[in-house]
Chains A and B, each alone.
Chain A
Amino acid sequence: MPLSKDVYRVFEDIVGEKNISDADVILDAYTFNWLVEFHPGCAPGKYLQNRPLAVILPGSAGEVQAIVRACNRYGVKYKPSSTAYGSHAFSLQEDVLHIDLKRMNRIIDIDAKNGFAVVEPYVPWCQLNAEAMKVGLFGTAHQAGSQASALANVTSGWGMNTMGNHGGHNAKNALGVEWVLPDGEMIRLGPPDAWFTGDGPGPSLRGVMRGHVGALGGNGVYTKCAVKLHHWPGPSTIKTAPGGVFSGYKLAEPLERARVYMVDTPDYETLADLMYALGDAEVCYAIMRVGGPEHAFAILAGAISNQTLVDWHEAGMVEAAANEWNHPLIALLYAESDREFAYQEKVFHQVVEECGASIPVAVQVSPFKDLLEEEFAIFLIGNDTHWAHHGGGFLISAGYMGTTDSVIRHMGYPAEKLKMRYVERKGILADGPDSTYHNSFEHNAYIYKELEFHYDAANAYSVEECRRLVAEERDTNREQKDGFECQDIGLCLGDARMTIQERFAELGPLYGDFHIWQERMKRAFDPNDVADRSTYGIGTAARNLKV
């Protein structure tokens, strides 16, 4: 049911006429998104079945609170978003008010001494880090790209990042938080007069706020957050020049005391050993994987053009690399002093050798050599990811978070085998079996890993194939009950045959009945049931459960 004129006016009075709209052209921009095609009933299009009732743009925490209170008063459901990259940022429910936080875009403070910044929701990592670098700090930007919100990532969803080996998972990088609860009450996590911690006084609510995956907009609205920043050994700005392979740009001058390595491991066992050893050695500023050679080249070609990837294949470059290396890992060494850098180099090489890893010849010549020397640092800083959408999308299977050993050793091969069957059917990009993206945390003690596969969002067969692939993977997974955390809890999509609530109900018993706990919290914090339920709480599926 559309908002009545009177209720619309209530919201309009809060934010002003310019900052609310129910025009179709405005609403459709909050209905169309990447990954929508993997929700039941949406494919092959990218529009959700329901438009929001209206989109509202609050300019302050006070306005957010007034909106949420009005939602409670008039029984209007709401969904907040920051940069809204991906379908999880929109509600799958009917009759929902979408709260776009774009006007709340200030960096309130950077506390250089204590290493954090207080930001509003629509401060993307690129803005935050540009300012943080000026004071020798850097935030753990995540791979959705540095155009995505820092606050959303640390408070509300996921948190995997390339610097996690020393900077931690972003769930840990949320300090003090200003939070408009689902019923409209405003609270602060952490002491009322300081932002350096999100705990106390009294029992910590951080777990309730964030959990592991994040409440994805189902648990009120976070209006400010202190984001932990980490040391930055680099200059206050990076000088770039056109001409890069990967992002179109390269470093105008080399970064001092920095070097990017790509090391290869013959198998996943060696890779896991290398991860632990590098974690213990504490010599890397950033660590990540972009899969095996075919996938790495596919990603590399992103900025140039899809044609480039075809050319590289035709020139035999990709095949040559595939013959030489197997499961590479990328590491950035970056030191505060020459002495520290020399130490990092020495230890790094020793660890590589001791673990049976090697530096492939193919990465010591163009284009990989140039990429590593001139560009990869930019990539790690810029974290630009839209290159990964060769045909307008990628999806993941085998997205797991767990101890390094268990995830790397056990989770790779079966999913790769499955993927290759679909590669043969030409529904997804042929980029080899190992298209693994991974980040590690806490000195590589645990990792997040996903097997990416690229599809063409404009090609109905390709989209269908992805849906089939994920469904098949989920079925296998279901049978195995393997005890790993499946990322679809977080991504809330994938198996297009069922709703998220049905998937929660299915996965819950495998993971400590999280769905019941979540539903309990939902009911306790959201008595009028107005905060969005599409990705939080099992909703109607909870009817038959004792919560």
Chain B
Amino acid sequence: MALEDYRNDMMRCVRCSSCKFIPLGSIVKSWQFAYGCPASKQMNFHSYSGSGKLIAALSWLDGRIGVTPELLDVVYRCSLCGLCDVSCRMGTDMEVYEILHQLRKKLVAEGHGPMPAHKPVIESVRNYDNVWVQPRNRRGRWAKGLSVKDLSKGKEKAEVLYFVGCTYSYASDLMHIPRLTAELFTRAGVDFGILGARELCCASPVYMVGQQDLYEEYAKKNIAMFNELGVKKVVTSCAGCYGVFRSKYPLLGEDMDFEVVHAEEYLAELIGSGALVPKNKVDLSVTFHDPCHTGRMAEIRAPSGGGEECHLGCLPVKNVEKVLGFDGSYDAPREILAAIPQMKFSEMERIREYSFCCGSGGGAKSAFPDFALSAASDRVEEAMSTGAEALVTNCPWCEKNFADAVRETGAPIRVVDTIELLAQSL
């Protein structure tokens, strides 16, 4: 599959600008929060929208433009959040996300990408199996003192693999999240284990910047390892890991003998079955941010590779089923929050499949921190507009980026992980 395969879709863009906004069918609820594309919100030239990138891709394919710093800026100043794909596909069969990704892949394959800031991340994965340039043997440090099974040596077995991910494993300010999660699993009697130092990067960050060879290498290694462990479920806390396991690994065509579950989906089930009963009141008003990678980007978008047939005269019909982002994991965090006594919950305007990205994905946080911060500040404002005291989410990247925005803007709101609130109420 290559960028060239999607030429027809590029030609079919009508430049309507729908991809700049949340889907119109869902009815925009205010002037302030109508935009869906963080790149278009920050950068005003049309080129930065999903449509603009399609045009750029076509221009490059046609030899109208060369690879310049401006092209790279257009392509990578984007969190690859997929909102443009959802908004466009509310009315078309076009594969906008796939084109954006293929464009990055081609730039990398031809030696033009990714951005300089991404290279250390890629090298870190290659050399240390994680994105944070940290030694392998410190990966399991977060679990120090907890009594959890170590599945890495093949001696212990469990039904569930708790896959923590690079960021929760190494970021000292976030490590309490996997610890709390593991404690909750233990409390509910879940038969689970971890991989400790043997856990590898999920390779989502390298996939996102277009480094396909490395992505495939790590994805295949992970699939093989999960199969070998014989676990029924791979449960992850990180939105990035969840999104790539659930929606991208299956496209590699390898057998996957396990189910991918977000920790919050698992915990919501445990609450539903009565295995966990939130009892303590948490007197807090909150709102929830749907990360792209637990939401629309966790849905499998089978790429057509350009395969289509003509029907009814000249109607192009694709060889794949179209998805609209509805099949993300949206309910579990809301169910958890609803189960916490006395918690007041209000929705933001841009939610679920048309959630507004925090701005840190797709390598944007490392390459374009100003862009990431501008998107996060926009989202923090939206959270504030609900009157919430806390912005709750379940992705380490979003949490870090929101925390930066709150620090930068001085916004009087806390950034909290769903798990922290659940743990408080138990």
Is B276 at the interface (CB under 8 A from chain A)? Answer: no
Interface 0/1 of B29-59, CB less than 8 Å to A: 1110010000000001111000110011011
**Chain A residues within 8 Å of B56, by CB:** 25, 28-29
Interface 0/1 of A409-438, CB less than 8 Å to B: 000000000000001001111110000000
Q: Which of A23, A305, A381 contacts B68 (CB 8 A)?
A: A23
Chain B minimum-CB-distance residue to A389:
B14
Indicate if the CB atoms of B24 and A382 lie closer than 8 Å. yes
Alpha-carbon distance A173/B243, docked complex (angstroms): 47
Q: Which of A84, A85, A124, A387 contacts B91 (CB 8 A)?
A: A387
Alpha-carbon distance A240/B25, docked complex (angstroms): 8
Is B143 at the interface (CB under 8 A from chain A)? Answer: no
Is B17 at the interface (CB under 8 A from chain A)? Answer: yes
Alpha-carbon distance A145/B23, docked complex (angstroms): 11
Indicate if the CB atoms of B34 and A127 lie closer than 8 Å. yes
Indicate if the CB atoms of B17 and A83 lie closer than 8 Å. yes
Indicate if the CB atoms of A130 and B311 lie closer than 8 Å. no
Chain B minimum-CB-distance residue to A145:
B16
Interface 0/1 of A301-323, CB less than 8 Å to B: 01111110110010000000000
Is B136 at the interface (CB under 8 A from chain A)? Answer: no
Number of interface residues of B (CB under 8 A): 61
Indicate if the CB atoms of A131 and B312 lie closer than 8 Å. no
Indicate if the CB atoms of A102 and B44 lie closer than 8 Å. yes
Is A384 at the interface (CB under 8 A from chain B)? Answer: yes
Alpha-carbon distance A306/B89, docked complex (angstroms): 11
Alpha-carbon distance A210/B208, docked complex (angstroms): 48
List the one stretch of B122-130, B177-185, B318-326, B338-346 in contact with chain A: B318-326
Quick one: which of B1-37 are within 8 Å of A by CB? 7-9, 11-18, 20-21, 23-31, 34
Indicate if the CB atoms of A386 and B58 lie closer than 8 Å. no
Quick one: which of A116-153 are within 8 Å of B by CB? 123-124, 126-131, 144-148
Shortest Cβ gap from A426 to chain B (Å): 5
Alpha-carbon distance A141/B132, docked complex (angstroms): 50
**Chain A residues within 8 Å of B423, by CB:** none
Indicate if the CB atoms of A126 and B24 lie closer than 8 Å. yes
Quick one: which of A440-471 are within 8 Å of B by CB? 454-459, 461-462
Alpha-carbon distance A302/B14, docked complex (angstroms): 15
Indicate if the CB atoms of A385 and B16 lie closer than 8 Å. yes
Chain A minimum-CB-distance residue to B94:
A392
Is A244 at the interface (CB under 8 A from chain B)? Answer: yes
Shortest Cβ gap from B65 to chain A (Å): 4
Shortest Cβ gap from A397 to chain B (Å): 16
Interface 0/1 of A61-77, CB less than 8 Å to B: 00000000000000000
Is A393 at the interface (CB under 8 A from chain B)? Answer: yes
Alpha-carbon distance A431/B313, docked complex (angstroms): 9
Is A248 at the interface (CB under 8 A from chain B)? Answer: yes
**Chain B residues within 8 Å of A102, by CB:** 44-46
**Chain B residues within 8 Å of A46, by CB:** 11
Is B260 at the interface (CB under 8 A from chain A)? Answer: no
Indicate if the CB atoms of A237 and B27 lie closer than 8 Å. yes
Q: Which of B68, B92, B315 contacts A24 (CB 8 A)?
A: B68
Shortest Cβ gap from B43 to chain A (Å): 9
Indicate if the CB atoms of A26 and B70 lie closer than 8 Å. yes
Shortest Cβ gap from A131 to chain B (Å): 5
List the one stretch of A30-38, A357-365, A479-487 in contact with chain B: A30-38
Indicate if the CB atoms of B65 and A28 lie closer than 8 Å. yes
Indicate if the CB atoms of A313 and B312 lie closer than 8 Å. yes
Is B252 at the interface (CB under 8 A from chain A)? Answer: no
Is A247 at the interface (CB under 8 A from chain B)? Answer: yes
Indicate if the CB atoms of A85 and B15 lie closer than 8 Å. yes
Interface 0/1 of B290-328, CB less than 8 Å to A: 000000000000000000001111111110011010100
Indicate if the CB atoms of A384 and B313 lie closer than 8 Å. no
Shortest Cβ gap from B307 to chain A (Å): 12
Alpha-carbon distance A390/B93, docked complex (angstroms): 8
Indicate if the CB atoms of A306 and B315 lie closer than 8 Å. yes
Is A47 at the interface (CB under 8 A from chain B)? Answer: yes
Alpha-carbon distance A247/B22, docked complex (angstroms): 12
Is B90 at the interface (CB under 8 A from chain A)? Answer: yes
Indicate if the CB atoms of A107 and B31 lie closer than 8 Å. yes
Alpha-carbon distance A281/B65, docked complex (angstroms): 58
**Chain B residues within 8 Å of A430, by CB:** 312-313, 315
Alpha-carbon distance A455/B12, docked complex (angstroms): 10
Q: A24-B59, A84-B15, A100-B45 are in contact. Are A244 and B25 (CB under 8 A)?
A: yes
Is A249 at the interface (CB under 8 A from chain B)? Answer: yes
**Chain B residues within 8 Å of A302, by CB:** 91-92
Indicate if the CB atoms of A391 and B24 lie closer than 8 Å. no
Chain A minimum-CB-distance residue to B65:
A24
Is B201 at the interface (CB under 8 A from chain A)? Answer: no
Indicate if the CB atoms of A240 and B314 lie closer than 8 Å. no
Shortest Cβ gap from A437 to chain B (Å): 16
Indicate if the CB atoms of A457 and B11 lie closer than 8 Å. yes
Shortest Cβ gap from A216 to chain B (Å): 16
**Chain A residues within 8 Å of B21, by CB:** 124, 126, 147
Q: A244-B25, A310-B311 are in contact. Are A21 and B45 (CB under 8 A)?
A: yes
**Chain B residues within 8 Å of A86, by CB:** 15
Indicate if the CB atoms of B58 and A32 lie closer than 8 Å. yes
**Chain A residues within 8 Å of B321, by CB:** 305, 307
Quick one: which of B381-423 are within 8 Å of A by CB? none
Is A383 at the interface (CB under 8 A from chain B)? Answer: yes
Q: Which of A126, A129, A242, A306 contacts B318 (CB 8 A)?
A: A306
Is B353 at the interface (CB under 8 A from chain A)? Answer: yes
**Chain A residues within 8 Å of B27, by CB:** 126, 130, 237-238, 240, 249, 378, 381-382
Indicate if the CB atoms of B47 and A29 lie closer than 8 Å. yes
**Chain A residues within 8 Å of B14, by CB:** 33-34, 85, 386, 389, 392-393, 457
Indicate if the CB atoms of B30 and A130 lie closer than 8 Å. yes
Q: Which of B13, B90, B313 contacts A248 (CB 8 A)?
A: B90
Q: A145-B18, A237-B27 are in contact. Are A25 and B58 (CB under 8 A)?
A: no
Shortest Cβ gap from B30 to chain A (Å): 5
**Chain B residues within 8 Å of A93, by CB:** none
Is A55 at the interface (CB under 8 A from chain B)? Answer: yes
**Chain B residues within 8 Å of A248, by CB:** 23, 25, 90, 324, 326
Indicate if the CB atoms of A429 and B324 lie closer than 8 Å. no
Alpha-carbon distance A249/B16, docked complex (angstroms): 20
Alpha-carbon distance A342/B320, docked complex (angstroms): 47
Closest 5 interchain pairs by CB?
A: A392-B12, A247-B25, A387-B91, A458-B8, A23-B70
- Can you name 14 A-B pairs with beta carbons within 8 Å? A25-B65, A32-B15, A33-B14, A130-B28, A131-B31, A248-B324, A304-B322, A387-B90, A387-B91, A387-B92, A427-B313, A428-B314, A429-B312, A455-B314
Given A247-B91, A454-B315, 19 new contacts (CB under 8 A): A25-B68, A29-B45, A46-B11, A102-B44, A123-B31, A127-B34, A130-B27, A130-B29, A130-B30, A147-B18, A148-B16, A240-B27, A304-B322, A305-B321, A310-B317, A384-B90, A391-B316, A393-B14, A429-B314
